[in-house]
């Protein structure tokens, strides 16, 4: 796969008086991990030869960077907020910066037992621009979703009931 799909849409599959069920994924998986990230944490800076994963941000902010494995081009940059699901395919170099305390769920195709994970993972020099490790925005970033507004703006409007 040359490029990931990145933001993945989820849908409410069932709704009644008790609430609703939102199916995040419906596919066979090898592992599910809950990752707690401290403010300023940088994770990944690698690619997987065969594995892929979907990441669901439960809390916080994720600055996500990706590019095809072996590319020398600057990585694409996306910002994700709570409730967003994003995808990383195999052979995609990727890294994440968490400017604030965050909780990330990772749903991977392959087992994450250490021996399996290490055999499939290729570590790379950081693809995160040096100025981005503590900043939450960069001028070349792409915002996740179809709106031109950030997820923070949409969240504050929906809490007020006007958007």
Characterize the bridge pairing of strands 76-80 and 142-143: parallel
Q: What is the mean pLDDT of residues 95-106?
A: 97
- pLDDT of res. 25: 84
* 42 lies in some domain: yes
What confidence category does residue 5 fall into, taking pLDDT thresholds of 50, 70 and 90?
low
- pLDDT of res. 119: 94
- pLDDT of res. 156: 38
* 30 lies in some domain: yes
Please tell me the total count of domains within the chain: 1
* 70 lies in some domain: yes
* 86 lies in some domain: yes
What confidence category does residue 139 fall into, taking pLDDT thresholds of 50, 70 and 90?
very low
What confidence category does residue 105 fall into, taking pLDDT thresholds of 50, 70 and 90?
very high
Determine contact, residues 141/78, Cβ cutoff 8 Å. yes
* SS3 state at 126: coil
Q: What is the mean pLDDT of residues 69-85?
A: 96
Domain that holds residue 113: 1-8+23-127
Distance (Å, whole) CA 53 – CA 127 = 19
CATH code, domain with 37: 2.60.120.10
């Amino acid at each position: 796969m040359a490029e990931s799909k990145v933001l993945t849409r989820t849908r409410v599959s069932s709704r009644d008086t008790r609430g609703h069920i939102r199916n995040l994924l419906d596919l066979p998986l090898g592992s599910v991990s809950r990752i707690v990230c401290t403010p300023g944490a940088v994770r990944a800076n690698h690619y997987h030869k065969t594995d892929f994963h979907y990441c669901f941000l439960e809390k916080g902010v994720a600055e996500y960077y990706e590019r095809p494995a072996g590319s020398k081009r600057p990585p694409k940059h996306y910002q994700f907020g709570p409730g967003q699901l994003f995808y990383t395919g195999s052979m995609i170099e990727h890294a994440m910066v968490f400017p604030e305390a965050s909780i990330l769920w990772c749903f991977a195709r392959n087992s994450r037992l250490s021996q399996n994970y290490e055999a499939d993972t290729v570590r790379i020099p950081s693809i995160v621009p040096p100025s981005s490790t503590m900043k939450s925005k960069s001028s070349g970033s792409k915002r996740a979703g179809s709106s031109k507004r950030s997820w923070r703006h949409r969240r504050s409007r929906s809490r007020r009931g006007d958007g």
